Amino acid sequence: MIDKVVASADEAVADISDGASLAVGGFGLCGIPVALIDALHRRGTKDLETVSNNCGVDDWGLGVLLRDGRIRRTVSSYVGENKEFARQYLAGELEVVLTPQGTLAEKLRAGGAGIPAFYTKAGVGTQVSDGGLPQKYDADGGIAIASPPKEVRSFDGVDYVLEESLTPDYGLVHAWKGDRHGNLVFHATAMNFNPLCAMAGRITIAEVEELVEPGELDPEHVHLPGIFVQRVVVVPESEKRIEKRTVALSAASAAQSGSTGGAESTSAAGSTGAAGSTGGTENTATSEQAGA
């Protein structure tokens, strides 16, 4: 079989051109292919379309590409932690296709399985199916692009909306272990969207923390077969961040503490793969904490 290992992240992304579409793994701050994203940033690649659970935070992950205006359009399900994202969207600089999270996962999985479209109940009777969601604003705050209505069909008396699958030009993923043939193992919650993005991408590039020789991975422990991966690059151990849940003090607690509008932060170090973190505080952590 083909040895898919390349020498560096820069070499791995060298043929990603301006205007390419990317399926990018990760969930919140967990399991993000940071080395590949940073390599794209160094190259100056622009006008990108990203498909990802989120768009990073202001200074990390996809957020570094967004900050420098490299992302033209994004398909995402959760974007609440990035202030620059909100600014660009409301200023008409960024097109945003908000997608229910389960639908986004299935659009990627189905694309990788060769299924062009599927029906789901998620979003029926809302702007997801009826259309009209603002995807891009103009400079004056008007809606420049709105989501189109989608086909709705009834099965056994229940309405379902038709969703088309996604097959981006590239898949960028982060794995714990991989072999030279591209077989990958993910660590704990860092699996998240990574296998789906790898399946959907026409060319998938995997950054791995540890490279092993063919045959060293137990076949029963392989999460993603190498048939979905075209390139593998070993990346040195890098910074791993976690998210924290931030909650407001109750009125009684605020009065007792003598402060108004204060907040207490509860660490969620062991659950970085959990959906919809509330609050945008991030911190550094060890790999054991982050599960990445």
Place 59 in a pLDDT band, splitting at 50, 70 and 90.
Answer: confident
Segment 58-76 shows an average pLDDT of: 93
CA-CA distance, 66 to 95, in Å (whole number)? 12
Structure tokens at 188: 């704990």
pLDDT tens string 42-54:
999 999 999 999 8
pTM value > 0.85: no
pLDDT tens string 113-143:
999 999 999 999 999 999 999 999 998 999 9
151 Cβ partners below 8 Å, 6+ apart?
A: 161, 162
Query: What percent of the chain has pLDDT above 90?
Result: 73
CA-CA distance, 280 to 29, in Å (whole number)? 11
What is the pairing mode between strands 203-212 and 231-234? parallel
CA-CA distance, 208 to 102, in Å (whole number)? 26
CA-CA distance, 187 to 200, in Å (whole number)? 20
C-alpha distances in Å from residue 46, one per residue of 68, 73, 90: 9, 11, 20
- pLDDT score for 266: 39
pLDDT reading at 84 higher than 50: yes
CA-CA distance, 36 to 17, in Å (whole number)? 14
Helix (H) or strand (E) holding 108: helix 101-112
CA-CA distance, 240 to 282, in Å (whole number)? 10
Please state, rounded to an integer, the average pLDDT across all residues of the chain: 87
Place 259 in a pLDDT band, splitting at 50, 70 and 90.
Answer: low
Place 267 in a pLDDT band, splitting at 50, 70 and 90.
Answer: very low
pLDDT tens string 211-239:
999 999 999 999 999 999 999 999 977 77
- pLDDT score for 54: 86
pLDDT reading at 60 higher than 90: no
- The more confidently predicted of residues 254 and 62 is 62
- pLDDT score for 258: 65
